[in-house]
């Protein structure tokens, strides 16, 4: 069985946002729509303070709250574990937006262009792939994955902080990393069983 998963190594991530932009280019998401976002937060007080980076995408939960919540069945979990929104089915109720514990789906209120009375050729082309009023989120780059490519954000991450693979294969790189480097998921108490794992920002051996 295949269950696609991503591992994001917080010890490697430098918060550069290349992933956010690469995702934007790959999916031509309209103005305002970012499927990948890098949260930044600080802890501690000066001079023992610290800055942290937290890239956030859809967790492709095995028990997706969004899917359960969606009244239209626009959200489905595929056999390979990828949770997708079908924007032909979505009625834009934004219930999934509320339901997701990771704030992953967002409603594309309108096809926002970057320039008020000018649509760049890139946007014109990209807009065909989006529907105003519907919910959107990271789809694990499934059209790339289906063609044997890695997701755009994984390929582009300048720090090689992101890994993609099959969680059901204990020998895969992602499984190995999770095991060896104490991978964890965010808010496990939500019981959504995310397929996106994080590796600790400070390694145990240091």
Nearest distance from C-beta of residue 171 to ligand SF4, angstroms? 22
Between 2 and 72, name the residue whose CB sits nearer to other proteins. 72
196-199/4-9 β-pairing? parallel
61 binds, among ligand SF4, other proteins, none (CB under 5 to 8 A by kind): ligand SF4
Q: Which of 151, 154, 156, 196 binds other proteins (CB under 8 A)?
A: 156
Nearest distance from C-beta of residue 54 to ligand SF4, angstroms: 9
What is the closest distance, in whole angstroms, from the C-beta atom of residue 170 to ligand SF4 in the complex?
A: 23
Taking the C-alpha atoms of residue 175 and residue 167, their distance in angstroms, rounded to an integer, is: 6
- Kindly state whether residue 197 participates in binding ligand SF4, applying the rule CB under 6 A: no
Please pick, from the candidates 4, 5, 7, 26, the single residue that binds ligand SF4 as defined by CB under 6 A.
26
CA dist., res. 137 & res. 50, Å (int): 30
Residues 6 or more apart in contact with residue 172 via CB below 8 angstroms: 165, 166
Q: Where are the alpha helices (DSSP H) in the chain?
A: 18-27, 65-69, 95-99, 121-127, 142-145, 152-156, 173-180
Q: Which of 2, 62, 77, 101 binds other proteins (CB under 8 A)?
A: 101
Q: Which of 11, 28, 38, 185 binds ligand SF4 (CB under 6 A)?
A: 38
> Do 58 and 85 form a contact (C-beta atoms < 8 A)?
no
CA distances from 178 to 5, 162, 187, 197 (A): 11, 12, 16, 7
Query: Under the rule (CB under 6 A), what is the footprint of ligand SF4?
Result: 13-19, 22-23, 26-27, 35-36, 38, 53, 55, 57-61, 64-66, 69-72, 74-75, 83, 85, 90-96, 100, 102, 104-105, 134-135, 137-141, 151-153, 157-159, 161-162, 192
């Amino acid at each position: 069985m295949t269950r696609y998963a991503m591992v994001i190594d917080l010890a490697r991530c430098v918060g550069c946002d290349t992933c956010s932009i690469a995702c934007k280019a790959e999916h031509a998401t309209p103005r305002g729509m970012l499927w990948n976002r890098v949260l930044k937060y600080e802890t501690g007080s000066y001079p023992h303070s610290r800055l942290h980076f937290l890239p956030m995408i859809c967790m492709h939960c095995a028990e997706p709250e969004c899917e359960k919540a969606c009244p239209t069945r626009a959200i489905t979990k595929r056999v390979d574990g990828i949770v997708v929104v079908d924007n032909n089915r979505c009625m834009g109720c934004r219930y999934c937006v509320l339901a997701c514990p990771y704030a992953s789906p967002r409603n594309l209120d309108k096809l926002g262009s970057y320039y008020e009375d000018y649509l760049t050729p890139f946007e014109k082309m990209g807009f065909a792939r989006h529907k105003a009023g519907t919910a959107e989120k990271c789809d694990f780059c499934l059209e790339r994955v289906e063609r044997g490519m890695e997701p755009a954000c994984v390929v582009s991450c300048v720090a090689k902080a992101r890994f993609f693979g099959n969680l059901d294969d204990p020998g895969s790189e992602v499984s190995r990393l999770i095991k060896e480097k104490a991978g964890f998921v965010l808010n496990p108490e939500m019981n959504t069983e995310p397929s996106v794992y994080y590796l600790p920002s400070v390694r145990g051996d240091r």
